Every structure is written in C-alpha cells, then in structure tokens.
Amino acid sequence: MSHNKADTKKGKRKATTEDSRVGIQEANLISRFNAMFKFCYYIKANELLMAG
C-alpha cells in the first residue's frame, strides 16, 4: 500500500504542469460552451415571448 502511494505521488509530481494546462483548457472550453448555450436559450425564450 505504501509502495503504491509513493508511485502515485511521483506520477502526480511529474504530470502536474501538464494536467493543470489541460484542466485550464477544458474549463475554458466548458465555460465558452455554457455561454453559447445560455445565449441561444435566451434568444429562444425571447422568440417564444414575442410569439406569445
């Protein structure tokens, strides 16, 4: 068990910068997608209100 912990720590330390970079890219992509979705939803809601 202790051996596995040491291995994971080494792996994590090696990949932290790469992981954070990927994580930031994913977060940006998700926030951009959410913004687009909200924008489209807002337009649809306005259209429905206008039609109603």
- 2, 42, 45, 51, 52 from 48: Cα distances, Å: 60, 10, 5, 5, 6
What pLDDT was estimated at residue 13?
60
What pLDDT was estimated at residue 26?
92
What pLDDT was estimated at residue 5?
60
> For 2-51, what is each residue's pLDDT tens digit?
555 655 566 566 667 888 888 899 999 999 999 999 999 999 999 999 88
What pLDDT was estimated at residue 19?
84
What pLDDT was estimated at residue 18?
84
